[in-house]
């Protein structure tokens, strides 16, 4: 038996959400949005993170969900300023506003997990030796944005992940969005991009876009649409989708896991913050939509 179903590693974020010029400070990051989903779906989860000591109080929200936290004080707290226009919440401008530091294998607690998820906000958090060390401990799931989204001055821009051919050898589950897939492969077609990325090593690939989520596994593809009634909770969409998929994969096949990911992500996009709905509600929607 593993100590946890899922171990999530990544910097907690203190983000700024600016909609039509109105600013709000909000907790964020893959470990924030993702761990709540994992726990709400009934799996055990631990979070390894770094942030400034004065921001440790923000972790109480996760502890109240029953999530185990291993936090290391850092000189800063990671964060991104997300600029939106209410008329188009699909499009945003992202700017880095803080960095919680990088990880070393020595600071990761000696606990076992069925899957390890690496959810860095942007490059600099996790290097290749750390990724390789974590892959020895458990099957690895990563979000590519934390390797190709690079802080340059006041901006976050796509840059090639030069160690990608070696890094992806150690990855079982890979998540990226349509823009990242095209950037890395040169292919606009999601299926063609996924096939190229599989050649590097990942067995299962999850690709999100505004329309929904595409899953590629075992030579097959499945698509499930996002159907939110609003985009008020747009921030955290990708983290929610991938965490749902990985959690459901503990017990379900890729197709069903993708369906659950699409439904929960749709519900999440309607409400700011992590998804806090019920498993029963989602099960009923999945049954109604997919039979």
pLDDT of the residue at 105: 95
Domain that holds residue 217: 4-290
CB 12, CB 31: distance < 8 Å: yes
50: nearest Cα among 89, 14, 10, 85: 10
Q: Find the helix or strand (DSSP H, E) in which 80 lies.
A: strand 79-85
Number of domains into which the chain is organized: 1
CB 103, CB 125: distance < 8 Å: yes
Q: How many C-beta neighbours within 10 Å does residue 6 have? A: 26
Instruction: Note down pLDDT in tens along the chain; length 291 residues.
Output: 899 999 999 999 999 999 999 999 999 999 999 999 999 999 999 999 999 999 999 999 999 999 999 999 999 999 999 999 888 888 889 999 999 999 999 989 999 999 999 999 999 999 999 999 999 999 999 999 999 999 999 999 999 999 999 999 999 999 999 999 999 999 999 999 999 999 999 999 999 999 999 999 999 999 999 999 999 898 999 999 999 999 999 999 999 999 999 999 999 999 999 999 999 999 999 999 998
CATH number of the domain residue 91 falls in: 3.40.1190.20
- The CA distance from 170 to 189, in Å, is 25
The distance from CA 188 to its chain's CA centroid, rounded to whole angstroms, is 22
pLDDT of the residue at 91: 85
Q: What does the DSSP 8-state code read for residue 58?
A: G
List C-alpha distances in Å: 158 to 64, 103, 136, 150, 195.
36, 22, 28, 6, 21
- Dmax (CA) for the chain in angstroms is 50
- The CA distance from 80 to 30, in Å, is 12
């Amino acid at each position: 038996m593993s100590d946890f179903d899922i171990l999530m590693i990544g910097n907690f974020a203190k983000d700024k959400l600016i909609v039509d010029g109105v600013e709000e400070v909000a907790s964020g990051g893959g470990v924030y949005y993702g761990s709540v989903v994992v726990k709400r779906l009934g799996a055990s989860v631990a979070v390894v993170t770094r942030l400034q000591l004065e921001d440790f109080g923000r972790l109480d929200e996760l502890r109240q969900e029953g999530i185990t936290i291993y936090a290391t004080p850092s000189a800063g707290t990671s964060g991104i300023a997300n600029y939106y226009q209410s008329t188009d919440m699909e499009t945003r401008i992202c700017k880095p506003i803080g960095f919680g530091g990088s990880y070393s294998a020595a600071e990761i607690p000696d606990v076992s997990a069925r899957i390890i998820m690496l959810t860095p906000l942007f490059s600099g958090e996790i290097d290749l030796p750390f990724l390789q060390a974590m892959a020895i401990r458990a099957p690895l799931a990563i979000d590519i944005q934390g390797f190709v989204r690079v802080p340059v001055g006041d901006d976050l821009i796509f840059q090639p992940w030069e160690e990608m051919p070696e890094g992806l050898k150690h990855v079982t589950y890979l998540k990226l969005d349509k823009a990242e897939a095209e950037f890395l492969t040169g292919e606009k077609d999601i299926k063609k991009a996924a096939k190229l990325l599989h050649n590097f090593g990942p067995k299962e690939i999850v690709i999100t876009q505004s329309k929904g989520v595409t899953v590629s596994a075992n030579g097959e593809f499945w698509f499930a649409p996002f159907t939110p009634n609003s985009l008020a909770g747009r921030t955290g969409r990708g983290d929610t989708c991938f965490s749902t998929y990985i959690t459901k994969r503990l017990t379900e096949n890729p197709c069903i896991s993708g369906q659950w990911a699409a439904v929960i992500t749709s519900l999440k996009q309607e409400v700011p913050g992590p998804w806090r709905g019920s498993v029963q509600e989602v099960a009923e929607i999945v049954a109604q939509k997919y039979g």
